[in-house]
Structure 1
Amino acid sequence: MQLSLEGRRALITGGSRGLGLAMAWAFAGAGARVAIVARDQASLAEAAAGLPNAAPVSADVSTADGCGRAFAAAEAALGGIDILVNNAGTSRRAPFVAITDADWQADLDLKLFAAIRLTRLAWPGMAERRFGRVINVLNTGAKAPPAGGAPTAVSRAAGLALTKVLAGEGAPLGINVNALLVGKIDSDQWVRRHAAAPEGRSYEEWKAESGRAIPMGRMGRAEEFAAMALALVSQPGDYVTGTAINVDGGLSPVT
């Protein structure tokens, strides 16, 4: 069993921090050249500074133009894209009646249409080379949407359907498409949630409390999530497609 990505080229959206950056490090450590895409140029530069074989790409993938520019820049820098990780997104939740049309559109543009557009751009090259790996990063709400979980749970559920459709079409072409569903993983998103929380506990105390509701008794680590992504895009994942794997310590009620 090999976890080598020597000669492979990966594009990761939302790649300048959190889970995206952890995956970029895992892929680069296995020998891949990696393009990390994000909107903020400062965070991109910081992330790429210590990342081997990295190409930073500044783009807003919530727009069709941004997706086109991101893919063109990554393809030019790497010479092609063998692995695509659709990771860009935020966790946006509100009571249903409070969600405006603009809120719905923004969420779908970033979490669903970005994946559609970038996969459509990467697909022909993957098909021509008879090798492609696509990971759609969703969350456990895609399988078990909670009350008050819109719009995120809805856009992520659509991403789950997209994953299955693409897996069926990609299998004869050598393109594997899978989804990784995030539970509570220690990342910059949770750091921001803690900063916005009206309480005096330290982040470590707050994180420990949040982890007690998880069967494993703790929040996950970004490196653990990245290891699962690496397995899917390297040799252990060669016969895995159309799956949606919970990376959540047993939190989700749906397998």
Structure 2
Amino acid sequence: MQLSLNGRAALITGGSKGLGLAMAKAFAQAGGNVALVARGAESLAQAEAEIREAAPTAKVAAIAADIRTAQGCEQAYNGAVRALGQVDILVNNAGTSQRGPFLEVTDALWQDDLDLKLFAAVRLCRLALPGMRDRKWGRVINVLNIGAKAPKATSTPTSVSRAAGMALTKALANEFAPHNVLVNAMLVGIIESDQWVRRHAADKRNITWEEWKAEQGKPVPLGRIGKAEEFAAMALLLASDMGGYVTGTAINVDGGSSPVV
């Protein structure tokens, strides 16, 4: 079985690093065209170069935009349409992990988290779904976290915004299924990404990256942390025609570490 995107155009937020970049590479290597959205122009340029090297025939667009605002979402979507012609696949991947004791989380932190992880997805879906509906083909993938299903203590606001993203996924899947527009969520466990690189860098024990990964992977049933390429492979399946009977799901990509399915 060979997964192919057959020239489909994908818009990926948070596309310059980590999981977003891994998905962009996988999509481009499978015959897709990709528009990367992030705030940092330098990291976008580097990501664009990496994808062009990995998939020389793919169309690649790098769009600097702050999708925490309505204007930034319009800038991202319109830039993708100008570069690629349309958006067939929307991957809402941008996000951080705002967390802390509930009584210490301010309104400003709540709003920033919701703007980036929930309202950006709402706004981009509102822009992309009409075209997908009219063409009778579309894919939306919302990248969330296993905390959306099983939030831990001191995990607000990130777990709450992720749970809202899961509800958005199911509601849109049911509404747009008659138009062959599939909407799914992927819930991240411990997977190599820019976020985990930063956590390792902040560790004061001066242990190597390999030692740190081994330590973090011990509680995972598979005994290791995941690879970004493994996550990207699942995204590619959902984005392709081979995933054509999967919609309204929230798939754990976590090595079995989530307490719920």
Contact 1:58 1:70 in 2 (8 A): yes
Matches within 5 A, 1:116-195: 116-195=122-201
TM-score w.r.t. the length of structure 2 is 0.96
Are 1:7 and 2:4 matched, yes or no?
no
Deviation at 1:51, TM superposition (A): 1.3
Superposed counterparts of 1:66-105, under 5 Å: 66-105=72-111
* 1:2 to partner: Cα distance: 4.1
The residue type equivalent to 1:131 in the other structure is W
SS of aligned partner of 2:248: coil
Establish whether residue 251 from structure 1 lines up as the match of residue 246 from structure 2.
no
**In structure 1, how many angstroms separate the alpha carbons of the residues matched to 2:146 and 2:105?**
21
1:30 positional shift: 0.5
Task: Decide whether the 8 Å contact of 1:2 with 1:234 is kept in 2.
Answer: no
Q: Supply the RMSD in Å over aligned alpha carbons.
A: 0.7
Normalised by the length of structure 1, the TM-score is: 0.99
Contact 1:61 1:70 in 2 (8 A): yes
Structure 2: distance between partners of 1:121 and 1:226 = 24
CA distance in structure 2 between the partners assigned to 1:102 and 1:42 by the alignment: 28
Measure, in 2, the Cα distance between the counterparts of 1:251 and 1:188: 20
Unpaired segments ≥5 residues, structure 2: 53-58
Could you tell me how far apart the structure 2 residues matched to 1:47 and 1:131 are?
A: 28
One-letter identity of the residue aligned with 2:219: A
Stretches of 4+ aligned residues off by more than 3 angstroms: none
Equivalent residue number for residue 211 of structure 2: 205
Q: Percent identity?
A: 67
Measured in 2, the distance between the counterparts of 1:51 and 1:245 equals: 26
Structure 1, residues 2-61: CA drift from partner, whole Å, max 9, x if none? 411112000000000000000000000010010000000000000001313210000011
